[in-house]
Every structure is written in structure tokens, then in C-alpha cells.
Amino acid sequence: MRELAMNTDLKALIDEALFYIWDPIGLNLMPCYRDEYRNYVDRVFQNLHQHGSSDALTSLCSRS
């Protein structure tokens, strides 16, 4: 149960980072688009679990 809560928290942080930091199309100033990158959260989460490196994550985000 604790792992599920940690995973949920991590996914929430990933979602925040994608919208407020990564934001390749400049939507983070418009709250109505808050869910724009949510479909990337699971891919980023899986990538972190499998590879755990910033290089792999950078590669994933630059392809998207």
C-alpha cells in the first residue's frame, strides 16, 4: 500500500514537472490547459523505473 501511495505521489510530481517546467508548447500560463501533458505521465514514470537516468528521460522528452 505504501508503494502505491509513493507511486501516486511521484506521478503527481511528474505531472507538475511536465506542465510547469518541460512545457514545450508554452501552455503553463493558461490553467485551462493543465491536463495537456497528462498522457505522458505514465511513460515518464515507466522510463524512470526502468532506466532511472536523466539521460534516458531527456531522450524520451526530446522525442515527444
Per-residue pLDDT tens for 12-22? 999 999 999 99
Range of the domain at 7: 2-63
Minimal CA–CA distance to 47: which of 62, 27, 26, 25? 62
pLDDT given at position 64: 59
Number of domains in the chain: 1
pLDDT given at position 30: 95
pTM: 0.83
Mean pLDDT of the chain: 89
Residue 3 has pLDDT above 90, yes or no: no
- The alpha carbon of 54 is separated from its chain's Cα centroid by a whole number of angstroms, namely 13
- Type of residue found at 63: R
Residue 9 has pLDDT above 90, yes or no: yes
